[in-house]
Amino acid sequence: MSGAGGDGSSDAGARALGTLVDDPLDEALLERAGEELSRRGADNWEVFAAYGRSTAVAARSEGRIEASLSDGAGLGLRVLVGGRPGFAFAGSLSWAAVQAACGLCIESAQLMEVDEHVSFAERSLDDTRPLDVYHAELLQLSLEEQVEIARALAIDAARQAQVEALYLDNSVYFERLVTSAGARFSARSTTQTYEACMLAGAGGDRGRGHSYGISSRALDLAALTREASQQANAMVDAGPVASGRYDVVLAPAIVEDLLSDLCYALSGYEALAGRTMFAELVGERVGSDLIDLVDDPLDPRLGFARYDHEGTPHQKVALISGGVLQTLLYDRSTASRAGVANTAHAERGSYESPPTPGVSALRLAPGDRSVDELLAEMGDGLHLVDTTDVEIDASSGELSAGASGFVVRHGQRAEPLDGIVLSASIVDLLCSVRAVGSDLRYSGFATPSLLVEGLEVAGT
């Protein structure tokens, strides 16, 4: 990083996301990495590659804007050497970095024990049609156009409440998976995410409003901004709640937070290790009759590809039906170890980690009642709209979270509340669900509002 040289002149920053090459992950590079692994002693191998490019704009108070572009790719390598599994990654597609990772991958296998449960995909998918999650119109925007959209949103938002921050991200993502048995997989997607953080009022009694959307297509940004602004205005001068048991209506965003944490507790990996109470509850009641939870990765509003992160074909999986737990989440190795069917739940956080069981496409079946009808049915209680710091201890099933919302009297929303602490067993909570809303919201997962009876709440 020193010395002197000439400046370039092309206008790279104005370029739209969509002007990048159609497929930035060259299959030949993955094959070459596999050959290198074989040459170094691998009996079987799997090469995973991911590429992402995103443009992000943050608009803050008083018209302050931050704009950024990020672009990156990497590889995750898995091998079997004499039955011993190895893993390594390279945060670069340069051949030197790939070669170094191949060496580390073999070295890691040499320190492992023989594991008969590890294997890689043997065949490609029959159905190679991509899911409808790649929408080129999202890629036509230049970063400068995206900045102008965010600026206009911030001006509009400032008329409704105070802008803390608006985050508008557009991204495109590609991945490929190749195994030594000749199986080949690839997928691509576009994503728009938008998060609005709004404030209202002054001093320590300010109200906060928050909304979030994610989709492979363009979101209704104005509606999400309004949602956050309305919440911020409604939460001004929020007061404490008295400790006790309350009937509560949980908003869809809260239900989504609970399910995200519940997923970890349903991991087959955690079950094999004896660290989740749900291991003993398959076939047992874990929710009221009204709870129907499915993982539906083939729904393009929820999923991303027709295969999981080690190439097993995706399917719709019922996790909880009529309140009864149907299965835990398994990938190839955990299913083999547990002696059960693979549910195609291999997930990678990034190319830097090997797959492990997880979910990304949950939908909790909606009911037939509007939120107003749920509040009317509840009569007196709490309408909780936001949570912070949600934790479910998988071992004990204990849930704790901070929450804010409103008092409900005679079915009508009254004064705002904050500083609420929720504490319950997650199974007790799900078993106490008395009604489910029709307001199914797609935002990563798909969740409706829930009416829960007799939830313990701590306040002053």
Partner 1 sequence: MSGDDLLAALSLDSAPLLRAAGARGGDYAELFAEAHEVRYVVIDDGRIERVTAGSEIGIGVRVLRKDRVGYASGNVVTQAAATELAQAAATAARAASGTQDGPAQHIAASRAQPVEAATALSREPNGLRALRDIAQAAEAAARAAGKEITQVAVTAIEGLRTVAIAASDGRYVVDVQPAARVSVTATATRGERLHSRMQPLANRGFDAIDIASAERTGRLAAEAALLALRARRAPSGSMPVVLSSSAGGTFIHEALGHGLEADAVYSDASIYAGRIGDVVTSPLLSVVDDATIGQRGSYGCDDEGTPAERTVLVDGGVLRSYLFDLLHARAMGARSTGNGRRETYEDAPIPRMSNIFIVPGAGDPEAIVRDTHSGLFVTRMGGGEVDAASGDFVFDVSEGYVIRNGELAEPVRRATIAGNGPKVLMSIDRVGSDLGFDVGSCVKEGQSVPVSDAQPTLRVPVMVVGGSGAD
Under rule CB under 8 A, residue 429 binds partner 1: no
Among 19, 61, 128, 370, binds partner 1 (CB under 8 A): 61
CB 318, min distance to partner 1, A: 25
Nearer to partner 1, 124 or 387 (CB): 387
Per-residue binding letters, 78-117, with partner 1 (x by CB under 8 A):
--------xxxxxxxxx--x--xx--x--xxx-xxx-x--
CB 96, min distance to partner 1, A: 9
Question: Tokens at residue 281, please?
Answer: 């509850």
Q: 401 φ, ψ to 5°?
A: -165, 155
CB 84, min distance to partner 1, A: 9
How many CB atoms sit inside 10 A of residue 24's CB? 17
Which span (215-223, 248-256, 307-315, 388-396) binds partner 1, by CB under 8 A? 388-396
Kindly state the number of chain residues that form the binding site for partner 1, as judged by CB under 8 A.
102
Among 204, 283, 339, 368, binds partner 1 (CB under 8 A): 204
Among 2, 22, 28, 159, binds partner 1 (CB under 8 A): 2
Indicate the DSSP class of residue 256. Answer: H
Nearer to partner 1, 102 or 371 (CB): 102
Residues numbered 348 to 377 that lie near partner 1 (CB under 8 A) are 352, 354
Nearer to partner 1, 124 or 333 (CB): 333
Q: How far is CA 302 from CA 124, 161, 220, 320, 368, in A?
A: 23, 31, 17, 18, 21
* Strand order from edge to edge, sheet including 317-321: 324-325, 317-321, 293-295, 362-364, 445-447, 441-443
Residues numbered 261 to 320 that lie near partner 1 (CB under 8 A) are 272-277, 280
Under rule CB under 8 A, residue 135 binds partner 1: no
CB 290, min distance to partner 1, A: 22
Question: Tokens at residue 350, please?
Answer: 């990034």
Q: Which residues of 85-105 are buried (b: 16+ CB within 10 A; e: fewer)?
A: bbbbbbeebeeeebeebbebb
Distance of CA 46 to the CA centre of its chain: 25
d(CA 369, CA 375): 10
Under rule CB under 8 A, residue 382 binds partner 1: no
Among 79, 183, 199, 255, binds partner 1 (CB under 8 A): 199
Under rule CB under 8 A, residue 143 binds partner 1: yes
Q: Choose among 331, 387, 335: nearest CA to 359.
A: 331
Report the first-to-last Cα separation within the chain, whole angstroms: 58
Which span (213-221, 310-318, 357-365, 386-394) binds partner 1, by CB under 8 A? 386-394
Residues numbered 229 to 268 that lie near partner 1 (CB under 8 A) are 240, 243
CB 185, min distance to partner 1, A: 22
How many CB atoms sit inside 10 A of residue 71's CB? 12
Nearer to partner 1, 7 or 368 (CB): 7
d(CA 262, CA 254): 12
